[in-house]
Amino acid sequence: MQITSLQKQVQEDLETAADHAYRTDGDRDGVSVRPQPDGAHSWSTVGARDDGYVQSVGWERLVSWAHDHDQVIEVTAMPGDHLIKGDCLLRLAPRVGSNVHPLTEDDLDRLHSVVTLGAARTPFQDVGFALQQLVEIAVRGLASGTNDPYTAVSALDLSATALVPLWAERQAITAYLDEDAVARVLPHWPAPEQLVDTIFNGVLTYGAEDPIVLDAAHRLLARLGDVASGARAEHLASIRSKLDQI
């Protein structure tokens, strides 16, 4: 496979993963991006039955189970997290004002079936891994003996198609809602700032001495800056300061 076709596939994976985890403001389409109250929950835990990376979570199925049992579920192990047997996978609590019911073996079987574990990370729902793949392609191009800064430039350019729309108006999903707009499942997606830091830190660690790589980094920074405001604009200012010192 040519590096250009590989980069294109990774770019598409990143866009898909970002669309899965980040949305615009408000509560719609069964999700919320608003801060969720801690609540007075008394949590119980569901542990992993096997070792492996969390590859995917069936969010709608999890919401359905939580609605039927009037529970709130916190997903403590997100796509990309590695677990060993017994690690906390989910935390469950009755919704405030509801009665506590012990979990049956059938309940546990259904909850475990909603989370797919595997031997390796995949980009399907794992936005951090999708971005990491793009960074690794860039780093390989800058590695000693390869000396291909244009690969790193392409990686920075391609990342913009996912990062700029995300940076402009999207927030990480904070809750998946049932049909009554009740928050039933609480995820922990990485903050957009974390993704932006990943792409700059990963490439600039190895590409700081290549002028065309620095130009591409400034180009990505400018694209992000065109759509940034408030705290996100301030975050870019700190990145710009680091670039200016190189």
In this structure, the chain runs to a length of: 246
Whether residue 185 is contained in a domain is answered as no
The per-residue pLDDT for range 25-76, each reduced to its tens digit, is 766 789 999 999 876 578 899 999 999 999 999 999 999 999 999 999 999 9
Q: Exposed (0-12), middle (13-18) or buried (19+): which is 109, by Cβ within 10 Å?
A: exposed
pLDDT tens for each residue of 201-226: 887 787 878 899 999 999 999 999 99
Q: Which residues form the domain of 166?
A: 3-24+124-171+190-244
Residue 181: inside a domain, yes or no? no
Is residue 109 domain-shared with residue 196, that is, in the same domain? no
pLDDT one-digit tens code per residue, 15-27: 999 999 999 876 6
Are both 141 and 227 inside the same structural domain?
Answer: yes
78 and 154 part of one domain? no
Contacts of 47 (CB under 8 A, 6+ apart): 85, 86, 87, 88, 89
Is 220 within 8 Å of 156 (Cβ atoms)? yes
pLDDT, tens digit (0-9, with 9 covering 90-100), for 158-169: 999 999 999 999
Lowest mean pLDDT among 48-52, 124-128, 137-141, 168-172: 137-141
